[in-house]
Amino acid sequence: MNKQVIAAIGVSAIVALSLPAIVSHYALSIAIATLYLAFVGQAWNVMMGFAGQLSLGHALYVGLGAYVSGALFTHLGIAPWLGLWAGVAVAVSCGALIGWLAFRFRVTGVYFAVLTIASAEFTRIGFDHLEWTGGPAGLFLKVAQRDSIDILNLRGPPAMYYYALLLLALATLGLCTWLLKSRVGYYWLAIREDEPAAEALGIPTLRFKMLAVVVSAALTAVAGVFMAFYKNSLFPEQVFDMGRSIEIVLAPIIGGLGTLLGPIVGAIVLTLLGEGTSAALQLAGLELPGMKQVIYGVLLLVTVSFLPNGIWPPISRMLVGPKVRA
């Protein structure tokens, strides 16, 4: 890697680490939202970008992680670091079930996507009837004062959440890099590019597709846990909503499917786009409800039409040369 890339990474690192101190509170809340998208986008990317399975119901895993850990905290006082494992376990079981059913019965492509949507909706309605998690009235976590940092119970000022999410996003990046460069990664690539050929070569496709689903579900559930403790209130119709699932997939697709930095780049671009549009409209005095989303949609359309592989691949080619696939 040449000197400029190293310099860029260095500058980004310094900016990222000192962000809470230099930007406004509003910008910090935006940064937290961006990191969340980056984290959850990477998790989704494992299933789709690496293993080629289009899931449009990923809010299911976010919700399960959030609700399980949130409910355990509220009813039994269990700290999030322990509740996390329970949340992950539930999400992984659901993911494994969906995965196994789908792969065993050869449900692929758009059918698989619809299956994932249906599962999320099914769960949403289910949680609407579940008393233990508050039903449609929602689950409210007891909020402690934000003056002190209680990392054990994830109670603290926004800066704490920012660093926690930054750590998670980077750790996930590390994990994905390691996975991708290992044998698992190559099997996944083979399955994504041409599954029948991969099978013919003797790769146990069922097992590795399941692995992708499980890893993806687990990581997404962790994101859910953080969201639960950040937002402190959960409602089934908001948490499992199809809009949430779609939010999750936008960043990796726009950034670059299957790449490592794609989801992160995508998350940053999307957030800046969204907030930038709002700010621009406010300045221009054109604050009609819905205008921002229309512009958002048009920009999305344009991006998909002209940069169908995502934003990151052409940029990365520009920076480090065509041979390295980052």
Partner 1 sequence: MPAADLVVSVVVAGLLTGLVYGLMALGLSVIFGVMRVVNFAHGELMTLAMYATVFACSAFSLDPFVVLVPVALGFFGLGYVLQATVINRFITKPEHVQFLLLLALATILVNAQLMAFGPDARGVQTDYQLDAIELGPLLIDTVRLYAAAAAIVASGLVIAFFRFTLVGKAIRGCADNHLGAKVIGLPVERLYALTFGLGASCVAVAGTLLVLIVEVTPGAGPAYTLLGFVIVIVGGLGSIAGALVGGVLIGMSEGVAGLFVSPSAKSMVSFALLILVLLLRPAGLLGKTA
Partner 2 sequence: MSNTLRISRRTFSHLVAAASGTALLGRPKFARAAGKLKVGVLLPKSGVQALIGQSCDRGAVLAPDVIKQLLGVDIEILSADTESNAETARSRAERLIDEGANVLVGAFDSGHSAAIAQVAEQRGVPFIINIAAAPQITEQGYKYVFRNFPPAPELTKNGLAMIGEVFTAAKVAPKTAVFMYVNDTFGQAMSKGITALMPSLKLPFNVVETISYDVAAKDLLVEVSKAKAAKADFLLLVCRLNDAVILRREMVKQRWAPMGVISPGSPGLYEEQFTKSLGKHANYAISNTVWYNPKNQVTQTVIAAFKKKYPKDEFAFHGANVAFTFDALMIAADAFKRAGSAEPKALVEAIRKTDIAATARVSLGGPIRFNAKGQVEGITSASIQNLDGKPTIVLPSTLAQGKLVFPAPEYKA
Q: What is the DSSP letter of 156?
A: S
- Cβ-based nearer residue to partner 1, 199 or 241: 241
Q: Does 282 bind partner 1 (CB under 8 A)?
A: no
Alpha-carbon distance 256 to 250, whole Å?
A: 10
- Among 85, 121, 177, 317, the residue binding partner 1 under the rule CB under 8 A is 121
Q: How far is the CB of 23 from partner 2 (least distance, A)?
A: 5
Binding mask 226-265 for partner 1 (x = CB under 8 A): ----------------xx--x--xx--xx--x--------
Q: Please give the C-alpha separations between residue 70 and each of 11, 55, 137, 267, 289, in angstroms, as whole numbers.
A: 37, 25, 15, 26, 33
Q: Does 300 bind partner 1 (CB under 8 A)?
A: yes
Distance of CA 23 to the CA centre of its chain: 24
**CB-CB neighbours of 201 under 10 Å:** 11
Q: Does 280 bind partner 1 (CB under 8 A)?
A: no
Q: Does 129 bind partner 1 (CB under 8 A)?
A: yes
Alpha-carbon distance 109 to 52, whole Å?
A: 9
Distance of CA 114 to the CA centre of its chain: 19
Binding residues vs partner 2 (CB under 8 A): 4, 7-8, 11, 22-30, 33, 125, 128-129, 135-138, 140, 142-143, 145-146, 157-158, 231-233, 235, 237-238, 279, 287, 289-290, 293, 317-323
Q: How far is the CB of 30 from partner 2 (least distance, A)?
A: 6
- Cβ-based nearer residue to partner 2, 93 or 148: 148
Q: Please give the C-alpha separations between residue 160 and each of 84, 150, 234, 276, in angstroms, as whole numbers.
A: 18, 9, 20, 25
Q: Where are the beta strands (DSSP E) in the chain?
A: 139-140, 233-234
User: What is the DSSP track for 197-213?
Assistant: HHHHTT--HHHHHHHHH
Q: How far is the CB of 217 from partner 1 (least distance, A)?
A: 18
Q: Does 289 bind partner 1 (CB under 8 A)?
A: yes
Q: Does 105 bind partner 1 (CB under 8 A)?
A: yes
Helices (H), 105-204: 109-128, 158-181, 183-193, 195-200
Q: Does 122 bind partner 1 (CB under 8 A)?
A: yes
- Residues making contact with partner 1 (CB under 8 A): 48, 54, 56, 101-102, 105-107, 109-111, 113-115, 117-119, 121-122, 125-126, 128-129, 242-243, 246, 249-250, 253-254, 257, 288-291, 293-294, 296-298, 300-301, 304-305, 308
